[in-house]
Amino acid sequence: MIKAFITEGDLSVDDLIKLILKPSHREGCGAIVTYVGYVKAVVDGERVEEVVFEVKDEFEDFLNRVAEEVAGKYGLHDVIVAHKEGALKPGETVMYVVVSAVTRDQAFRGAREIVDRIKSQAPMRKVERREGGTYLVGEGGERRRIDG
């Protein structure tokens, strides 16, 4: 199963793992890796008020394409990717990635590539509002102030 989607609410990591555990262990898989990304409370010594994720129309197709490509590259059996959009506060979850594979090396490498590609290539705009200003967050996490 390869499934990627945009979500608004929080998801249960336990439920995501249960969704892929039974089918993948029957196929000889022995590893599930999960990643949960969330909004940081402090960046560069400043309090973060919120981060806004403005996704483009093709965002969900992009998530599915990345999940399928990386699954093929590393031999992942199952992949679930969920990403939120809109304004999120510090401590709120942003992205979930859950993968299963025969080996832990495949699972870790695949999960990392999915996260890295989403963070660097996704068709979205990420705006970080801090106590000291507003920043556009680019590829690699570099921040450019956009409010004067």
Q: What is the pLDDT of residues 57-73, one digit of tens each?
A: 999 999 999 999 999 99
Which pairs count as long-range contacts for 125-128, CB under 8 Å and 24+ apart, including other chains? 125/52, 125/53, 125/54, 126/51, 126/52, 126/53, 126/54, 127/51, 127/52, 127/54, 128/43, 128/48, 128/50, 128/51
| pLDDT at residue 148 tops 80 | no
pLDDT value at residue 53? 96
Task: Tell which residue, 16, 29, 7, has the closest CA to residue 100.
Answer: 29
Task: Tell me if 96 sits within 8 A of 81, measured CB to CB.
Answer: yes
What tokens were used for 106?
A: 């495949």
What is the distance between the terminal CA atoms of the chain, rounded to a whole angstrom? 46
Domain ranges of the chain: 2-45+56-123
Using pLDDT thresholds of 50, 70 and 90, give the confidence band for residue 23: confident
* CATH number attached to the domain at 2-45+56-123: 3.90.1170.40
Q: Which residues pair with 78 in a beta bridge?
A: 100
pTM reported for the whole predicted model: 0.93
Range of weakest confidence among 21-25, 66-70, 110-114? 21-25
Q: How do 46-55 and 42-43 pair as beta strands?
A: antiparallel
